[in-house]
Chain A
Amino acid sequence: MSQTAKTFPRVSLSNPLVNNLIRYLLMILLALLLFGIILLVTGKDPIQSYRDIFSATLGSTYGFSEVLLAMIPMLLTALAVALPARVGLINVGGEGQVYIGAAFATWGALAFQNKPAWILLPLMTLLGMIGGALWAFVPGYLKSIGLVNETIATLLMNSIAPKIVGFLIFGFWHSPMDTVKTDNFVSAARLPTFFDTRVHLGFVFALVLLALFWFIMKYTRWGLEMRAIGGNAQAARRNGIPLKGYLVTVMCIGGAIAGLAGMAQVSGFYGVLLLNFSMGLGFMGFLICWLAGGDPIGIFLMSFVVAVITTGGNLLQLTQGLPYAVINILLALALFVVLASPRFFEGKKA
């Protein structure tokens, strides 16, 4: 038998972060390319369109702030999916949780409008989170006792939540002038904004929560236990980790974060509770979370990209006369590319 010098273990040169960045960039390029072809086919000028998108978003301070603004609910609703996903729960109910959170916060804003901001805002934040958590508790609990699959339950409850909000608005809260929305919130019930932009405090909430999520998953006892449940629920249970408790709690926290997104929208963005105000925010969060593979940095990057596309898309409607639906095509393309990417970018198996 030949005697060979034992080589040292191979050290991977590419670090995962750089790898991921390259992956995202390639994905975006590919999606842009495909979308460009679609634009060409419909007789638009893709170069000009992309230039418009760029100048409307990243090209100016204002444009950039609009992108950040659009990111706020995306970050939060994506996080509301990412956390439960760590214990193997699929929360498709972000949309419903956003509505109920917004409704709870609105009740606070309307009922206590003569209170100062330092009481009112924390109260609304809390109410929004409680609302979302309660809405998520139902599917979480049903799942934990093994009765109903949480994916189905959260999905079905999505269509109920806007109806409840509608009922509240029509029945009790609508303003004298307009039946599809409440009175404008008093200024004490509005989240403060930064500088001269519309970016509000919700952005800080989202960043803090995202960082907290990363920290908890990586360093804490609860993160370890949640990863164990996600990795092998049966083994986790046999090792003494309280499975049911975690399923319910984590689902509720996910719901609370989505509820916070709802609160941030009504208090920070609109300043009023509108009928059907969300228009798919919860689903957008789901999409972003899966695009990002549930990873906090990925969620931030993907939210940014999606926010650029949607904000830029708004402008594209005006300048190029494209219907807004076209933006959905671009988003769908991005999704497509990402879903195909594991095969595409990964090497062969070990």
Chain B
Amino acid sequence: MPNPQNQTPMIALRGVTKRFPMTLANDHIDLDIFGSEIHALLGENGAGKSTLMKILFGFYRADAGEIQLNGKSITIRSPRDAHEYRIGMVFQDLNLIPAFSVAENIALFLPDLKAVLKPQEIDERINEVSKQYGLEVNPRALVSQLSIGEQQKVEILKLLLSNARLLILDEPTRVLAPHEVEALFGVLDNLRKDGYAIVLITHKLKEVLECADRITVLRGGRVAGSLLRAEATEEKLVALMFEKELSGLKIAEPKRDEMSTPVLELRGVETYVEGAGMSLKGINLQIRPGEIVGVAGVSGNGQKELCDVVLGMELCVRGEKYLFGKNLTNRPVGAMRKNGVSFIPENPLAMASVPFMTVLENMALTQTWRYARNGGFAMDWGVVKADIQQTAKRLEFPVNFYTIAKSLSGGNLQRMVILREMTHDPRLIVASYLTRGLDVQSALAARQALIQAREGGAGVLLVSEDLEELFTLSDRLLVLYGGRIVGEFKPPETDIYQVGHLMTGSKVEHVANG
């Protein structure tokens, strides 16, 4: 392993091996993590990144191998031990208590927490550290009211105040908007200067090349290679990550008939949401067959509600919803599904899958009526498998039907949901953060699948914060702000800056066509 400074690593992993009932997740992994460095961990979905870091954090026990701290061998049996050794981790799905304030969440992890809390003192300590590293948050705010980006900051603050020196961040940028990513990297840069060691798991190569000092690529549970940033290029990393070369996105011109009945039409739709959440106001929207309509917006501006209204989860208090000219306003989700509506939600674990069921069972859930036999007294699992396998072949996603959904890696779970929702030739696909958590190759395949669906005449509603993705895929682009559509463009007629402006609410008066 390259080590030009010739110093002892803060943490060294030697021969770490972890086997799960069905998979060898980590296979004799060696890894060096140095202080004052950002170490990026790359690898395709299911390569074993999260597992390796959970071992380091004491969440799993390795079957074999050794962990060294500053050259001395240590045993980490639990997150509590990891705490002792000043190792901290932010999980793939954040782990804060929503009903608690920021200060309370952080206080829970203070190593020197007193029996009687002194809120004033805790606030001060938080403020001190947050100023130092540019992690400003209001300690008194409730976590449930924070954006994902702010919650991310709280997680990092929590680690810093608990005295961690090694910070493990599992896909922190997955849910962040571009400007939030910038801010996060600024913070990481400050931390690096102060001697912290940082492990950053991500699927975005640009980010890696932008901020990492050292890059390790895992493949199939083994180390495929380890590079210093100076040696790394995007091509080299991709070659290490995948067996196959990446092909570009093949975008065929869809044949579209502007006069045909829209796949989906919303006429003056309004919703009413209590508490947190954004009510939709006066939404008019048409999606033609063979059209991808992108929805840009900072999350929390009505994206979730828009998708839910289309799916039938949320009621329209005013307005109508038509599917192929048929009025389906406020019909239940089942009716929408039967009419060919597919849904890829922003959070596959909470919103799309049943954690303790097998992948196969999960695959049948949206179409139970289709697979029921003998009037419902039996299920035809063979056909479920055949259907899914066909899609899996097309997208080149691996599937293992008999694993429990909960034990899938983050990206594999997303792939499972995409597979299911792309089967049965959906006529309308509602996709929210389609490529969240996917590796480069899978993200490409998922986008390709949308394009294929468009060629087949399906309509697509694509919600994303990734403007680049929206500009590449969309035929038409809407901007959602405060529950209204504040802009509508054809991608060639606009640019990222104009859309970015609208997303943050400036220039609202200028467009106002909703």
Contacts and interface: CB of A to CB of B under 8 A. Distances in A.
B351 A1 contact: no
A236 B376 contact: no
B100 interface: no
Most buried by B among A220, A224, A225, A238: A238
A343 interface: no
A235 B351 CA distance: 4
A224 B356 CA distance: 12
Given A220-B379, A224-B364, A232-B354, A238 B313 contact: yes
A227 B354 CA distance: 9
Contacts of B15: 2
Interface stretch (B103-111, B234-242, B337-345, B494-502): B337-345
Dominant secondary structure of chain B at its interface with chain A: mixed
A2 B368 CA distance: 47
A239 B21 contact: no
Nearest to B311: A238
Contact of B356 (A231, A234, A239, A241): A231
A1 B356 contact: no
A52 B378 CA distance: 48
Interface string A212-255: 00000001111011011001101111111110000000000000
B336 to A, nearest CB: 7
B389 to A, nearest CB: 20
Contacts of A239: 333, 337, 352, 365-366
Contacts of A220: 372, 376-379
A325 interface: no
A232 B368 contact: no
A228 B369 CA distance: 14
A19 interface: no
B30 A228 contact: no
A187 B334 CA distance: 50
Most buried by A among B19, B20, B332: B332
A271 B366 CA distance: 49
B222 A228 contact: no
A221 B21 contact: no
B357 interface: yes
B24 interface: yes
Contacts of B355: 231-232
A227 B364 CA distance: 12
A220 to B, nearest CB: 5
Interface stretch (A4-12, A76-84, A90-98): A4-12
A225 B353 contact: no
A322 B15 CA distance: 65
B223 A224 contact: no
A236 B379 CA distance: 17
Nearest to A225: B368
Nearest to A2: B28
B116 interface: no
A43 B223 CA distance: 69
A220 B369 CA distance: 11
A231 B365 CA distance: 12
B357 A231 contact: yes
B350 interface: yes
Given A1-B28, A219-B377, A219-B378, A9 B21 contact: yes
A219 B368 contact: no
Given A235-B352, A240-B333, A10 B313 contact: no
B55 to A, nearest CB: 12
A241 B365 contact: yes
13 contacts: A4-B28, A221-B372, A221-B377, A224-B368, A228-B357, A232-B355, A234-B350, A235-B350, A235-B351, A240-B337, A240-B366, A242-B332, A350-B20
Interface of B: 15, 19-22, 24, 28, 30, 60, 222-223, 311, 313, 332-334, 336-338, 343, 345, 350-357, 361, 364-366, 368-369, 371-372, 376-379
Given A228-B354, A238-B333, A240-B333, 10 more contacts: A1-B28, A221-B371, A221-B377, A231-B357, A232-B350, A232-B353, A234-B350, A235-B350, A240-B334, A240-B338
Interface of A: 1-2, 4, 6-7, 9-10, 219-222, 224-225, 227-228, 231-232, 234-242, 350
A-B CB proximity, top 8 nearest: A240-B337, A231-B354, A221-B372, A240-B334, A221-B376, A239-B365, A239-B366, A232-B354
